[in-house]
Amino acid sequence: MIRQLADALDLFHAAAEEVCRIGQYSLDTTGRFSLVLSGGSTPRGLYALLAEHPYRSQVDWKKTEFFWGDERAVPPNHPDSNFRMAKEAMLDKLDVPAGRIHRIEAERADIDGAARDYELKIEDVLGRVPGVGRRPPHFNLFLLGMGDDGHTASLFPNTAALLEKQRWVVAQDVPRPPSPRITMTPPLINAAHYIMFLVSGSSKADVLAEVLQGPRDPLRYPAQLIRPLTGEVTWFVDRAASSKLLQHHRTEA
């Protein structure tokens, strides 16, 4: 599903409403809400809104479990840290207990060990999925962005993580700084109940049309790998980002 909004501010409000709707629903029905945050610059406006009236009182944020879909190999106080961005824009203002904030320790020298430890952390917090073998747990809500090359999380074109079938979290070198990065992999992302992409600005228009309406080529456009098994995916896009989409695919919100 595609929701087209007029501009970035409308997009952030529509996304904030949806995050709160899913958060409330998750807490009401299961007593918990697991939320995976995206990095980059686009979600900052959403995070800032969530920390303000009316959204801040619509979800019991103190019971929300916060994760990150990817992280850059920088210390947590570094300007490029995805953790730092979310902390400053939202988490500090919502007084979320430290025990609910599960950051990726991508600054560690043993970055592979940090990726493996994050898998254990996820299983520890969300619980083991019953059944044969080790199955990826289901996050309630997964936020994603997309780069102008079609990457999402830190799943970059033609990189090994795109083909990963067993691991849920891996470290890899990526073609854009900061590198290396730790990223969740498609099997874990696609197990989520609900996925929201946020895409804003004209620099994303060409790639958005390729990803949503072009031929399938996920090694070139990794965002095409995101197809939840049983969950839903919604693309929140503004008019600038969606200007190259064919008209009949657009849904005005």
Q: Which residues bind ligand 6PG (CB under 6 A)?
A: 38-42, 70, 82, 145-147, 151-154
In the complex, what is the shortest distance from the CB of residue 3 to ligand 6PG, in angstroms, rounded to a whole number?
17
Q: Residue 244 corresponds to which tokens in the numbers above? A: 């190259």
Rounded distance between C-alpha atoms, residue 84 and residue 211, angstroms: 29
Rounded distance between C-alpha atoms, residue 74 and residue 178, angstroms: 8
In the complex, what is the shortest distance from the CB of residue 46 to ligand 6PG, in angstroms, rounded to a whole number?
11
- 29 vs 203, which CB is nearer to ligand 6PG? 203
Beta strands in 73-190 (DSSP E): 141-144, 169-172, 181-184
In the complex, what is the shortest distance from the CB of residue 245 to ligand 6PG, in angstroms, rounded to a whole number?
18
User: What type of residue sits at position 120?
Assistant: L
- 154 vs 172, which CB is nearer to ligand 6PG? 154
Q: Is 190 helix (H, G, I), strand (E, B) or coil?
A: coil
Residue 241 gets which letter from DSSP? Answer: T
In the complex, what is the shortest distance from the CB of residue 156 to ligand 6PG, in angstroms, rounded to a whole number?
9
In the complex, what is the shortest distance from the CB of residue 91 to ligand 6PG, in angstroms, rounded to a whole number?
16
In the complex, what is the shortest distance from the CB of residue 134 to ligand 6PG, in angstroms, rounded to a whole number?
25
In the complex, what is the shortest distance from the CB of residue 106 to ligand 6PG, in angstroms, rounded to a whole number?
10
- 153 vs 245, which CB is nearer to ligand 6PG? 153
- 23 vs 39, which CB is nearer to ligand 6PG? 39
- 25 vs 40, which CB is nearer to ligand 6PG? 40
- 135 vs 200, which CB is nearer to ligand 6PG? 200
Rounded distance between C-alpha atoms, residue 109 and residue 150, angstroms: 29
131-145 exposure pattern, b = at least 16 Cβ within 10 A, e = fewer? eeeeebbbbbbbbbb
Beta strands in the chain (DSSP E): 2-5, 33-37, 64-68, 70-72, 141-144, 169-172, 181-184, 194-199, 232-238
The residue with tokens 């657009």 is 250
Q: Which of 30, 29, 31, 34 is nearest to 19 (CA)?
A: 34
Residue 67 gets which letter from DSSP? Answer: E
CB 49 within 8 A of CB 55: yes
- 146 vs 226, which CB is nearer to ligand 6PG? 146
